Amino acid sequence: MRYLRRAMPLALSIAALAPGVAHATVTCNPQQAVPAWAGSPKTVSLDPGCTTDVVSGHVTYAIATNGAHGTATVPDQTGKFIYTATFNPNGADFVGADVVHMTASDGGAPTPFDVTISVGDAPLLGGNIDAATLKVDAPFQGTPVFEVLYKDPVTLSATLKEAQPPSTPLGGFAVRFQGIPAGPKTLTTNAGGAVGLVFRPLISDFVSLDVPSLPGVFSAPAILLVAPDWSIPSRVPVRHRKFVVAGRLRAEKSARTGGTLTFQRRKGTKWLTVTKKVKLSASLRFTVKLSTKYSGVRLRLLYKAKATSDYINSEFRFKLKKKKRSAGRVAIRSVRASHSVRSLRMLRR
């Protein structure tokens, strides 16, 4: 007898195993206050930054709400960003605590966190002016005033540093020098926060320093008044019983229309005018013929500027000594009084 076995179906249970989804966690610890400058952009960093528990994950930052007193850029992956405090051109800039609301994420739900910005005083810009013939005058409406001779080399220097202790020098910032011939000119501070240049002033002008990239940093201008200089030989001829004093006023040609040249002699405590107006050529050359009776007398040539002139008064003092009938000698007593070098304070506001 033949038995037939009926095959029974084999039921296979296939379990589709879903991979476990990693729910990454971004951790943002409480932030330390980040220092910034009043009225100026400053590159700063999160302290500390946010971290993720995913080994190969990267934290991406975003700005939820910017501060009330400045604007922050979105931090990069290292936590570095730029905070620019609001600049107030008509008054004092804000100094104090500002808060920026940020978020951090590595692809999941963003984690909110706050960054406190400690806004301190803007950097300090200091300056100094120096020249061999520099003279300090009384300030004009609070602005420092200095005098110098035409084309006398003048050194104008600047220093830039943090206002807050330890007053770290700020290198790599462009300082703009204005009020100089062929200016303005921009130079970069070195590692010590210093920069300077030498120029030869041509006319009276305002001289100032500023840092264009830091609008919160200001420098009060100084007024640099330029006086004509004198070019007169040490020996002059005597012709027909007269000294012939020929020379040149060293200045731009605008001095010719902006002022007058007179010859004077000293009598007691006063200066008496002998020649009211000495003629100046287009190149500012002049000739004065004086009787030999002025030998040994204190004399001076006086340039008197007009109120609207680019120059200020200047004088050349001398004595004439008759040596021979054919020649004379100019003995210079003084061109200008000696002047001490003073510091030019460049102030913020």
pLDDT digit string (tens) for 163-207?
Answer: 988 999 999 999 999 999 998 999 999 999 999 999 999 999 999
- What is d(CA 257, CA 249) in angstroms, rounded to the nearest whole number? 13
Token digits of residue 113: 């966190």
Average the pLDDT over 4-14 and give the result: 45
| Mean pLDDT, all residues of the chain | 85
Of 17-21, 56-60, 201-205, 212-216, least confident by mean pLDDT is 17-21
How far is residue 304 from each of residues 36, 148, 263, 277, 312, measured CA to CA in Å? 52, 16, 11, 11, 7
Using one digit for the tens of pLDDT, what is the confidence trace for 280-305?
999 999 999 988 888 888 899 999 98
- What is d(CA 181, CA 200) in angstroms, rounded to the nearest whole number? 7
Q: In the chain, which residues fall in CATH 2.60.40.60?
A: 26-120
Q: Residue 289: its pLDDT value, please?
A: 92
Q: Does residue 336 or residue 216 have the better pLDDT? A: 216
Q: How confident is the model at residue 33 (pLDDT cuts 50, 70, 90)?
A: very high
Cβ neighbours of residue 118 closer than 8 Å, sequence gap 6 or more: 33, 34, 35, 36, 96, 97
CATH architecture of 229-334: Sandwich (2.60)
Q: Residue 23: its pLDDT value, please?
A: 56
- What is d(CA 308, CA 198) in angstroms, rounded to the nearest whole number? 27
* Strand 51-52 with 26-27, pairing: antiparallel
Q: Residue 42: its pLDDT value, please?
A: 94
Q: How many CB atoms lie within 10 A of CB 228?
A: 25
- What is d(CA 224, CA 178) in angstroms, rounded to the nearest whole number? 12
Domain 26-120 has CATH 2.60.40.60: yes
The torsion angles phi and psi of 30, rounded to 5 degrees, stand at -55, 135
Beta-strand runs (E) in 221-313: 222-227, 229-231, 235-236, 238-239, 242-250, 259-267, 270-275, 285-291, 298-305
Q: Residue 102: its pLDDT value, please?
A: 96
- What is d(CA 72, CA 101) in angstroms, rounded to the nearest whole number? 10
- What is d(CA 129, CA 1) in angstroms, rounded to the nearest whole number? 129
Using one digit for the tens of pLDDT, what is the confidence trace for 67-125?
999 999 999 988 999 999 999 988 889 999 999 999 999 888 899 999 999 999 999 99
Average the pLDDT over 267-279 and give the result: 93
- The candidate with the shortest Cα–Cα distance to 99, out of 144, 55, 66, is 66
Spacing of C-alpha 298 from chain mean position = 44
Q: Is 139 helix (H, G, I), strand (E, B) or coil?
A: strand
Spacing of C-alpha 308 from chain mean position = 27
Q: How confident is the model at residue 320 (pLDDT cuts 50, 70, 90)?
A: confident
- The candidate with the shortest Cα–Cα distance to 174, out of 229, 134, 214, is 214
The torsion angles phi and psi of 45, rounded to 5 degrees, stand at -135, 150
Q: How confident is the model at residue 17 (pLDDT cuts 50, 70, 90)?
A: very low
**Superfamily covering domain 124-227:** Immunoglobulins (2.60.40.10)
Q: Residue 97: its pLDDT value, please?
A: 97
Is the whole-model pTM more than 0.85? no
